[in-house]
Structure 1
Amino acid sequence: MALRLARTSAEAHLYMELHPCESCGQTGFDPVGSVVEADGDLARRYTGDCLSCGAPREFTFRVPDEIPPAGDDVPRFGDDRPSELLDAGEWLWLADILASGTPPDPARLDARQRRQTRMDLLTAASALSEVLKFVPTGAEAVPTKTLWSSRGRAVHRAEPNRFRRIHLEATRDTCRGIAARFS
């Protein structure tokens, strides 16, 4: 089976966070990364032990021919291609988690809390941009075939209209607008 592409190290780390230890179900993992050749491709292997039960964990991802440049202070998970690691529903789930804790009044937060809230909202906007990469040119919505995980399919089943391009763009732009209030 061909290795899946991790377009950035941020995407690889997110994937590892979302895939818990098979032995105990915990996500604590302090991986050490190394560059290797796997199946004739340049790859990045992450190894380490589960912080909960000590079971060995390993993830190997193909690396892109060209690494996308890092964003200024906006999180970036990949280039213009849709993710091979997370499906459209998982990206939307992540955006929901990140944006759900947004306090209504920035004035009640200290500087550190405002920075964290701003980063969470910008990361949610980036996750929504990742969902949009699954919408084919000229299409109105994410095709259901791009939902291969149980989490992604569950998010879609709960609210399929949220996968429409117009809704995704509006939600992404709203996250960006609210993030600006926390600067």
Structure 2
Amino acid sequence: MTPPLSRTNAEAHLYMDLHPCSCGDARFPRQSAVVATADGELASRYTGACAGCGQERKFVFRLPPELGTPGAGFRYGGDEPSELLDPGEWLLVADAYAGQVPATPADGDAGQRARAALTRAVAALDEVGKFIPADGDAVPQAAIDSDRGLQLHQREPGRFRRDRLRAVRDAYAGMLAQLG
């Protein structure tokens, strides 16, 4: 079986964080190696023992044929939609990062944490938008294949509309700009 494509290390680590061990713990010390798949493609392999129960964990992701553009800012991937996370999961990731930002972020470490969280929230919202067809105004429900993504779509389908995603993204980007 061909492993899924991970467009960046950040995307691979996020995927592993969102897919915990059967004991429920997602933490494990990750040893990584570049390996060849059965098809001769390059892949990243992450292995380690679960911090909760000690069970061995292993993830393998195909590497992109080309590396991203240096200096383009934080991104989870290129222009194509993710193969690892569906748009509902990306929206939940954006919510989780935005939820880490205090109403009035302070300077210093708290300000740095707020900037990092908002940067990742914006990047996650950008990922949701990649699932919207060029001539469409919303993420098609068929693009959502995770239980948690489908539950979010059933509860709040309007959150998957292009205009609403753009408004939330712009609000987060504006907050980020204010943090400097």
Q: Shared fold (TM-score greater than 0.5)?
A: yes
CA–CA separation in structure 2 for the residues paired with 1:141 and 1:179: 25
- 1:113 is matched with which residue? 110
Identity of aligned residues (%): 47
Distance 1:60 1:131 in 2: 23
Q: Is the 8 A contact 1:92 1:127 kept in 2?
A: yes
Runs (4+) of structure 1 exceeding 6 A deviation are none
- Residues 6-51 of structure 1: CA distance to partner in whole angstroms, max 9, x if unpaired? 00011000000000012x1111111111111112121111111101
Amino acid aligned to 1:159: E
Q: Secondary structure at the match of 2:82?
A: coil
Query: What residue in structure 2 maps to residue 25 of structure 1?
Result: 24
Partners of 1:79 and 1:152 lie apart in 2 by: 21
Unaligned stretches of 5+ in structure 1?
Answer: none
Aligned equivalent of 2:154, options 153, 157, 163: 157
Deviation at 1:78, TM superposition (A): 0.4
For the residue of structure 1 that corresponds to 2:98, the secondary structure is: helix
User: Would the aligned equivalents of 1:70 and 1:76 in 2 still touch at CA under 8 Å?
Assistant: no
SS in 2 for 1:125: helix
SS in 1 for 2:45: strand
Q: Residues 86 and 71 (structure 1 numbering): CA distance in 2 closer, same or farther, change over 3 Å? A: farther
TM-score (norm 2): 0.95
Which residue in 2 is equivalent to 1:12?
Answer: 12
Give, as a single letter, the amino acid of the residue that structure 1 aligns with 2:61: F
**Residue in structure 2 matched with residue 122 of structure 1 by the alignment:** 119
Structure 1 position 101, deviation (Å) = 3.1
Q: RMSD over aligned Cα, in angstroms?
A: 1.2
Query: What corresponds to 1:97 in structure 2?
Result: 96
- The CA distance in 2 between the partners of 1:138 and 1:45, in whole Å, is 37
What displacement does 1:127 show? 0.2
- Scaled by the length of structure 1, the TM-score of the pair is 0.93
